[in-house]
Structure 1
């Protein structure tokens, strides 16, 4: 490999994990507003496999545009190697983490080097390593923008109404469905940080983990149906979402809200009759919010769980693990 090339994962076609190719490609050149990051770790997220399979889960009219071949990935943690002349605030040697260019698909983080927009980066929390930092941006910012502060005016592609977080405090009860996953375990901790009582829903193998994170009540969905056990909650954060999400409406009190992370099928007349609100948002890169989250990570107020790590060359195995489901926290790719 020459001094001007690097290793990266690229897609030349859509399909299963087998289409992820480990290749030698040119090191990206810096553009205005960018820094060159030597990548140490990469967070693996659902949009990575959506991109891999050609966005078949999204309606054609909302599918992002991209061309092949493409390097997948949006989350990274690494060290600044070079800085464009117009960039202030970062210097060579800085440890950084970020969610790059999302909701687009030009993050290109499954690589040894990335030309990253400085506006999408924050300094890595000193108290955590690159693996845990790389696992935080997309999942952490999703939970933050759903629960704490949206931070942008861009509408969700799935609704016209603007998403408005619920003010969380000691008087509120939040149910988190899919609480053990990437977004879910951040949402649980952020709700607890704000003082709310949290009911965590996941499979039984995650109970000890979620109680350690602060869950006040745990429901094993393989044994019980949450909508039959729980009533009168203020907020449901459904980190699973999808077609079955509307069953959680029965757990809400009048005036309550449901936030499906992956938007499902809801009837506005039914929502009005129940007196509840259903809204969502689409996570976007936000360095200022990431810096705030970084302070919580540094203090240990919020922590990142790692389901497993794989080398960059083993990205296929990482995607195969993701396809198995029942993930506890995040999957991360590491680069020596």
Structure 2
């Protein structure tokens, strides 16, 4: 099969499009998926750069990618929740390829009205937003949430899901994206290039932090006592959390399959909008990574695997 292979850690040019990569076969409990679209998400290039070698152990060469949408090709022994021809989304091992393998528990059925493009945006995008808001952040109707990088691949979903829940949404974005984030339903959008959010915001219940560094440092003071900060980029400071009397969390819990299907239904029925920044053919995965790594996109970046 055709696939992207990484033979050494490094920049986008380490992504090699190869014509003859071994096609996996499902073992017991596994599902082989014919990939339609793969999500090019920040985790992929952080692994590619070699930054997470102690967390995600890879045997070189490896096929990158996890987030995808596709069609079940074959199922392994003991799998009775899926059958060939089913439309699915979720995580597979090596989604930058014509075929990828996944435990059956990592896949979710697609609603009939959901497109493959939109389905590929859920894992690592809408899923991460749901986790930050509800699984980790425990956001409730009537509460106030501050969402950083609200025009990005996670932020755009977080704004919409928080409004769907009935929360008051404050968001940060660049001036070029203020109207876009407002169109997603944010009650207040702060242009981070011209204003300091900590001077305009206070007493919030939850901060969704997906930038890291000084943005996290400046976010503690806007929380009310007993509030929550959920980081999507790094383990937040336990010392700062104690100092400000708040809870800080990072990647300890994840949405359930039922949660993911709810997200898929919201997209399918138009309640949740999936903004796709760009779609690259699989052979141009290096360009997709370069764009994602530049951090200036609006929405999700996808790889069209059907075009190989």
TM-score by length of 1: 0.86
Structure 1, 228-237 or 214-223: larger mean CA deviation: 228-237
Q: How many angstroms does 1:289 deviate by?
A: 2.6
Contact 1:256 1:277 in 2 (8 A): yes
1:271 aligns with 2:245: no
CA distance in 1 between partners of 2:256 and 2:61 (Å): 27
Flag structure 1 segments of 5+ consecutive residues without an equivalent: 1-5, 101-106, 150-163
SS in 2 for 1:199: strand
Aligned to 1:207: 178
- Which of the residues 212, 216, 219 maps onto 2:190? 219
- Report the CA distance shift for 1:30/1:273 in structure 2 as closer, same or farther (over 3 A): closer
CA distance in 2 between partners of 1:317 and 1:184 (Å): 22
Contact 2:235 2:249 in 1 (8 A): no
SS in 1 for 2:154: helix
Aligned to 1:81: 73
Q: How many angstroms does 1:299 deviate by?
A: 2.1
Contact 2:91 2:102 in 1 (8 A): no
Query: CA deviation digits over 1:18-49, x for unaligned, max 9?
Result: 01000121211111111221111001111110
SS in 2 for 1:137: helix
Q: How many angstroms does 1:145 deviate by?
A: 1.9
CA distance in 1 between partners of 2:138 and 2:49 (Å): 34
- Which of the residues 304, 323, 327 maps onto 2:297? 327
Q: How many angstroms does 1:275 deviate by?
A: 2.4
Aligned to 1:20: 15
Aligned to 2:258: 288
Contact 1:174 1:196 in 2 (8 A): yes
Q: How many residues align?
A: 305
Query: CA deviation digits over 1:257-312, x for unaligned, max 9?
Result: 211211255352x4334322222225658533322221222222222110100000
Aligned to 2:157: 186
Query: CA deviation digits over 1:29-82, x for unaligned, max 9?
Result: 111111221111001111110111112xx5x7x532221000000011111111
Query: CA deviation digits over 1:147-203, x for unaligned, max 9?
Result: 222xxxxxxxxxxxxxx4334112x11110011111111111111111001011011
TM-score by length of 2: 0.93
- Report the CA distance shift for 1:19/1:284 in structure 2 as closer, same or farther (over 3 A): farther
CA distance in 2 between partners of 1:72 and 1:187 (Å): 26
SS in 1 for 2:21: strand
1:138 aligns with 2:134: no
Note the aligned Cα RMSD (angstroms). 1.8
Aligned to 1:126: 112
- Report the CA distance shift for 1:115/1:285 in structure 2 as closer, same or farther (over 3 A): farther
Flag structure 2 segments of 5+ consecutive residues without an equivalent: none
